[in-house]
Structure 1
């Protein structure tokens, strides 16, 4: 050990004191995320407002962290929430357990479940990190109707096969267009 070793250490400290700071001003100026960033989950809707989730529970089975709870319910002609025979009556994602792997997204047969770019999921109360169906559902866009309501886009095949085309062509749907889309 040399007598000048402590001075060399202070030299490193003094050299970095006058360099510009690289710390981001996160809460005030958050950086945008990458377009394909996997953040909070979202339950999507069809162009008429019906839910895409058919309550099949495949997302819950695919989750390695056991963070998803789905309880399916049966649709009736009086109360229809999705175009299928069933819908997700009770849907919860526990973000205390979720590891953000995206396996639930791959398992979803109707593309009901996707992930948004929202990444601020921290909270100081554990119960608020269990997101329920009303917190996960995509908002209603103009022309959409709050379920339950009857099928508006024709046969159930139209919902799955032609759904993306109808979404591009007919949004926002007006009540007059709902009848014409059949």
Structure 2
């Protein structure tokens, strides 16, 4: 009984851990999974190739991907295809990170933004325009025009696993 009273008295005289949220924001942990972002290469091309592996890996069925073919006149990604439609329903998303793990090009990344609020259900569906990160300095917006049969990109070369 005295041990319980001692614990109560210690807690009573200690400083509270409450923070006033909008004015003061706590830093997130290293492994925190927040709002999704679709990444780009340095030259402005999108990393997403429209393979829909992220949608297949999503246990909540929150991701919808529709692919289309790249052309020399309109190139969005370095591959043969790109995601013409990419949508994430944030009301269904459980922020597990399986989409990030499944992506072969590391196009989808769960960032550290945790301030997600919606006025209606339609605002909770993040489209490709909302998810794509801005173009880096020196890059071009997509679609880009490329010479026929020639495609150059600033993507790191793959290493041979036998090396």
Structure 1 unaligned blocks of 5 or more: 1-11, 164-182
Instruction: Give the corresponding residue for 2:120.
Output: 125
Does 1:146 pair with 2:141? yes
Does 1:137 pair with 2:126? no
Answer whether contact 1:104 1:113 (CA < 8 A) is retained: yes
Which has more helix, going by share of residues?
1
Structure 2 unaligned blocks of 5 or more: 1-6, 159-163
TM-score (norm 2): 0.82
Change beyond 3 A, Cα 1:116–1:151: farther
Answer whether contact 1:36 1:117 (CA < 8 A) is retained: no
Instruction: Give the corresponding residue for 2:72.
Output: 77
How much has 1:92 moved relative to structure 2?
0.3
Instruction: Give the corresponding residue for 1:99.
Output: 94
CA RMSD of aligned residues (A): 2.6
When the two structures are aligned, how many residues end up with a matched partner? Answer: 154
TM-score (norm 1): 0.74
Instruction: Give the corresponding residue for 1:29.
Output: 24
Ranked by relative contact order (alpha carbons within 8 Å, sequence separation 6 or more), the top structure is: 2
